[in-house]
Homo-oligomer: A and B are copies of this chain.
Amino acid sequence: MPSRLIVSKELAELLRLIAHPDRLRLIEELRHQERDVSGIATALDLPSTRVSQHLASLKAHRLVQERREGRNHFYRLTRPAIAGWIVEALEFLDVPSPLEDGSHIDRVRELWADDTSKSSS
Give chain A's interface residues, CB within 8 Å of chain B. Answer: 2-16, 18-25, 28, 61-62, 79, 81-82, 85-86, 88-96, 108, 110-118
Beta-carbon contact of B2 and A118 below 8 Å: yes
Assess whether B18 is in contact with A93, with CB atoms less than 8 Å apart: no
**Assembly of this chain: how many copies?**
2
Q: Is the CB of B7 within 8 A of A108?
A: yes
- CB-based contact A4/B115 at 8 Å: yes
Say what secondary structure dominates the interface of chain A: helix
A111 touches B21 (CB 8 A): no
Q: List the B side residues contacting A9 at CB < 8 Å.
A: 21
The reply to whether B2 and A115 contact each other, CB–CB distance below 8 Å, is yes
Given the known interface contacts A6-B111, A16-B16, the answer about A11 and B79 at a Cβ–Cβ threshold of 8 Å is: no
**Given A85-B89, A111-B7, A12 and B20 contact (CB-CB distance below 8 Å):** yes
Of chain B, the residue at the smallest CB distance from A108 is: B7
A53 nearest CB across to chain B (Å): 16
